[in-house]
Every structure is written in C-alpha cells, then in structure tokens.
Structure 1
Amino acid sequence: MRNPNLPTDLLRTFVTVVEVEGFTRAADILGRTQPAITLQVQRLERIVGHKLILRVGKEVSLTEQGESLAVYARQILRLNDLAIAHFEPPTKGTLLRVGLPVDYAVDLLQKRLTKVIKQNPSLNIEVRCDLSKNLLALLHKNEIDIAVALFEGDDQQFLFQHWQEGPTWVGSNDFNLQKNTIIPLVVHPHGCVYRDRMTTALKLTGLQWQIAFSSPGIGALQKAVRDGLGVSCLTEPTLKQGIRSLTISDGFPPLEPLHIGLFARQAQIGPEGYKIIDQIEQTFLKQSIQRPT
C-alpha cells in the first residue's frame, strides 16, 4: 500500500490560510495568486481524502478533519524550518513578540524565557504580560507572534499545542469555611478564566459569594489569599507557601479543568521563534501537565 507524502509547500499554504483567515491574504503573504492558493488547498484535500476548509463568501473555517491536520501540519513545518535553519548561517532575526499570561504560571514561563534570551543574544524579543483574553486579542490583531494563554478549548486558528490542567480552590493555611457564610473571593479582573470557573461552580451549587479582593497581578492575588482575605482558584505551578488546597470536604464544589494553549503565528515566526516554542513546551512537560488525547 502506497503511503502518500504531504508536501510542505501545501502544508504551509494551508496553515497560512488558517492563520490569516482568507485565501487572498494568504496569497499576499506567500507571494502567489489567489487561484494558486486555492489549487494548493484543493490538492492537499485530494491527498488526505477530506474537505479541510469551508468557504462561505470571504469567511473560512476548518472542518473537523482540517482541525486535525492543522495540528500535524504545524509540527511538520516546525521540523522542516528547523532543519533548513541548521544549514544556514545565524542572522539577527526580526522582532519576536511574545505574550505570557499573568493568570497562569507567569513566573515559571518568564524564568524560562529569560534563560533563552541570555543563552541566545542574537534573539530579538519583546515580552508582554497580560490576562489570557487580552493576549489572544493581541494575537488576532497581529500585535504579538507567540502567546501562552488560557482558553475555552475551541480556538484553533493559531493553536500550536494544547494542555489541560485541573485547578483547585485555595485558601490560607488556617482558612475554614463556616456554614451559611458568604464566601469571600480573591480574583483577577473580569474576563479571567479562573474567575469564571469559581463563580460558575458556586452558582451551580447555590453557594453565596462576593468579591473581596481583585488584582490583575498573580503576586498580589497570592498574597491576599495567604493573608486570609479570601479564597481563590490556582493551579499547581502557582501554589505558594502559606496557601493550602481546599476540597469538597472543605465545602467547595469541583472546578472544570483549564485549557492551556500555546499559540503562534507560524507563518511569520521563523526558526528563531521555534526556540521560544521549544522552551515553553519543556516548561509544561516539567510540570507534568497533561495534553488531552
């Protein structure tokens, strides 16, 4: 039985169309005509035997098979670009704009990224830290190239890798929930996934709550919990001394898992961008975060 090959030029066209959400814009980036881009996507669809992209007017969207291929295509292009870069002389790359989430493991990611920058002085990197929802908005506006962000699990446009982690309720070491009391919450501002997880879980179980403390910074949030101002929701990488996990036995409902995404505008990051991606992936692997199957 013949095993067909997936040409990298077709995969690059496919990923570019997905990222810029259009055939005409992809043609401009790749230096081809719009009909040529359409023919390349059609050729790729014939090779895999499935429709990959749906077009309604100027709008494009991925089919289920297209979403699956996009994951493999990104990995294939990554290896191709790294292999080519190995035989080319190093050059001062263009600016790489990286977004790190203040609402997830920012200390770990920042330390890893700082190490990469020091080990690779030729890298030209600008780092921005913000809430996940804001980073994703910046990515879609092409104001950053790479981002780690919490998301709802359904954003496939720039998704390079995807992990899942279970959040946990947390409080100070001496926190005890008294019956019939309003639960004080320590939260990030509106739009934070953690905040939504907490309030949704409490509403479903009929527990009363109020916002006791709000801050965009994880450090301030951790201190507020440690000082006993209220309870919050954290993950393993952000637990600190003086903070303990709270469970159902403490009177708290279970929380829905978090989706952590590594997003990249792969059409424009180049080989240098993969150095950043590799280090971010290693950070997650060391934390034993599970990738959904």
Structure 2
Amino acid sequence: MRVVNLSTELLRTFVTVIEVESFTRAAEILGRTQPAISLQIKRLEDTVGYALIKREGKDISLTERGESLAIHARQILRLNDLAVAQFEHQKESSKLRVGLPVDYAVNTLQSCLTNVVRQFSDIQIEIRCDLSKNLLSALRSNEIDIAVALFDGDDQQFLFRNWKEQPVWVGATDFEVPDQDVIPLVVHPFGCVYRERMATALKLAGQDWRIAYSSPGIGGVQHAVRDGLGLSCLTGPTVLDGMRRFTEKDGLPALPALHIGLFARQAQLGAGGYAAIDAIVNTLESQSSDVNSG
C-alpha cells in the first residue's frame, strides 16, 4: 500500500480557509497570495484524490470528504504546534478568549481551566459565559478563540470535537406532573437550546405549558427546579441532588439528543490554547463516561 504523507503546511492552509471562509482572507493571515492559497488547496486535493472544498462565487463549503479530513487535520496541526512550542522562546503576554455555555456544565468547565491559567502564567484567559448561539456568533466574528456550545450537529467551520448527550426532564423530588393541566417550565431566556427542545417536544405531544421561571444562569434554573417551581430539561452534569428524572412513563414526551461541540479558531491558537482545549476535552469526556455509567 502506498504511504501518503500529508503536508502540515497544506493542512494549515486548508483549516485556515475553512475557518475564515475565504481564500483571500486566508492568504492575508498566512502571508501568501490568493493564487498560492488556491494552488495549495489543489495540491492537497491531488494528494488525497478527492475534492475537499466547493466554491460557488464567493461562498465556500466543505465536501463530505472535506468534512472528514478537517477533523483529522485539526488533530495533526494540534500535535505539530505543541511539538514546535517546546522549542520556542517564551513569548510576550498574550490573551486567550474562551466561551462557555450557561446551560451546560459551566461550573465544571470553569474549574478545569484553572490549571491552564497556572501553567501558562503569561497568558491572560478571558472567560465569557453566554447562550450557545451567542458564543458561536462571537466565534465567527473573532470575539473569542475557543467555545463550548450546543449546536445542531452540522456546523463544521470551527468544530474541533463533538459529543452527544441525552437531555432529561427533571423536577423536584416531590414534584408531580399536572394531569390534564398546563405544565410549568423552568427555563433559560429565549434562544436557549434546552428551552427550544422542551417547547417543541410538548407542542408535538399536544401538551400545554407555561413559563414559570426564567433565568440566564444555570444556578437560578437549578434552584428553581429544586424549589418545585416546575420542570426543566437538563443533562447529566447539571442534575443535582434534590431533583428526580421524569420519563415518558410520567406522561412527558421524549427529548432528542443534544450535540455538544468544542469549537476553536485553530489558525490563531498557541500552546496555551491547545492546553485549554485538552483540559476541556478531558473534562467533557470524563463527564460523558460518568453519565453513561450512571
């Protein structure tokens, strides 16, 4: 079998084009001309034997093969950049902007970044907590460098890793689902993925509902649930003592799985950024194992 060695230079060009959605902008970032960027993408496509990027006017998108390669390309570049970082002189203080979702394990993810702060004292880490859709918008507009966010499962532009998590209905331990009555819901503000999941599932089931409590913070939602103000939709890492899970046996509709993604502007990450990514990945995978084994 012929051994094919993928050029990290070509892979970096490929990932940069994906992230900025522009051959011209990628050329500016990488210090090359636009024709040179196009040629490098063509060389990469010739190497793997498949088209990777579709161009329609100024719009670009990934082919199915391109989506597959993008996942591996990000991992290859991560290892390359970490190896090179071992031989670099310490740089001046830099900033790493991380976005965490208010509706998914935000407290645990904040804690996991503490060691990164200690390890890379020259890096200023800024953490922004917000709704997932706002974090993805901020990532696209280059307001943050890394984001953990719930998404629909088809966003490949900055996707580094992704997981599936099953949300569950939760209420206070003594909460009773109203029989033939309006179900009170505890939610985050409009735009939250969990809120949309609950509303859609109840609507399809023909069940009436009302907003009993709304808070932008996960702590407020958790306390309202435990106080018995209503039902909510959470995932394993955010279910607390004092709550119990409800299922279809309790007359509630099933909830579709959630996609949790780790997104990053890899074209501008350094060793500290990759350390933050590793910490987040280890935390999310550990939580996923705990949930699956629980």
Identical pairs, percent: 65
SS in 1 for 2:288: coil
| Superposition pairs of residues 241-252 of structure 1, within 5 angstroms | 241-252=241-252
Counterpart residue number, 1:19: 19
**Runs of 4 or more consecutive aligned structure 1 residues displaced over 6 Å after TM superposition:** none
Equivalent AA in structure 1 for residue 255 of structure 2: L
- The CA deviation at 1:204 is 1.1
* Cα distance in 1 between the residues matched to 2:57 and 2:28: 19
SS in 1 for 2:123: coil
Equivalent AA in structure 2 for residue 105 of structure 1: A
* Cα distance in 2 between the residues matched to 1:62 and 1:116: 33
* Cα distance in 2 between the residues matched to 1:16 and 1:171: 45
Deviations 1:117-166 (A, max 9, x none): 13432222111111111101100110000000001111100000001100
Counterpart residue number, 1:181: 181
Equivalent AA in structure 1 for residue 81 of structure 2: D
Equivalent AA in structure 1 for residue 4 of structure 2: P
Q: Which runs of 5+ in 2 are unaligned?
A: none
| Superposition pairs of residues 154-233 of structure 1, within 5 angstroms | 154-233=154-233
* Cα distance in 1 between the residues matched to 2:116 and 2:254: 37
Contact 2:52 2:63 in 1 (8 A): yes
Counterpart residue number, 1:134: 134
- The CA deviation at 1:289 is 5.3
SS in 1 for 2:269: helix
* Cα distance in 2 between the residues matched to 1:188 and 1:289: 26
- The CA deviation at 1:93 is 4.4
SS in 2 for 1:228: coil
Superposition TM-score, scaled by structure 1 size: 0.97
Deviations 1:11-43 (A, max 9, x none): 000000000001000000000000000000000
* Cα distance in 2 between the residues matched to 1:9 and 1:90: 23
SS in 2 for 1:98: strand
CA RMSD of aligned residues (A): 1.4
| Superposition pairs of residues 58-137 of structure 1, within 5 angstroms | 58-137=58-137
Superposition TM-score, scaled by structure 2 size: 0.96
Equivalent AA in structure 1 for residue 232 of structure 2: S
Counterpart residue number, 2:149: 149
Contact 1:149 1:262 in 2 (8 A): yes
Counterpart residue number, 2:41: 41
* Cα distance in 2 between the residues matched to 1:142 and 1:178: 46
* Cα distance in 1 between the residues matched to 2:99 and 2:153: 18
Q: Which runs of 5+ in 1 are unaligned?
A: none
Does 2:287 correspond to 1:287? yes
SS in 2 for 1:118: helix
Contact 1:186 1:231 in 2 (8 A): yes
* Cα distance in 1 between the residues matched to 2:252 and 2:120: 46
* Cα distance in 2 between the residues matched to 1:178 and 1:126: 44
Does 2:9 correspond to 1:9? yes
Deviations 1:250-290 (A, max 9, x none): 11111000100000000011222100000000101211259
* Cα distance in 1 between the residues matched to 2:93 and 2:163: 29
SS in 2 for 1:211: strand
Contact 2:170 2:225 in 1 (8 A): yes
Range 199-208 or range 85-94, more displaced: 85-94
* Cα distance in 1 between the residues matched to 2:49 and 2:118: 46
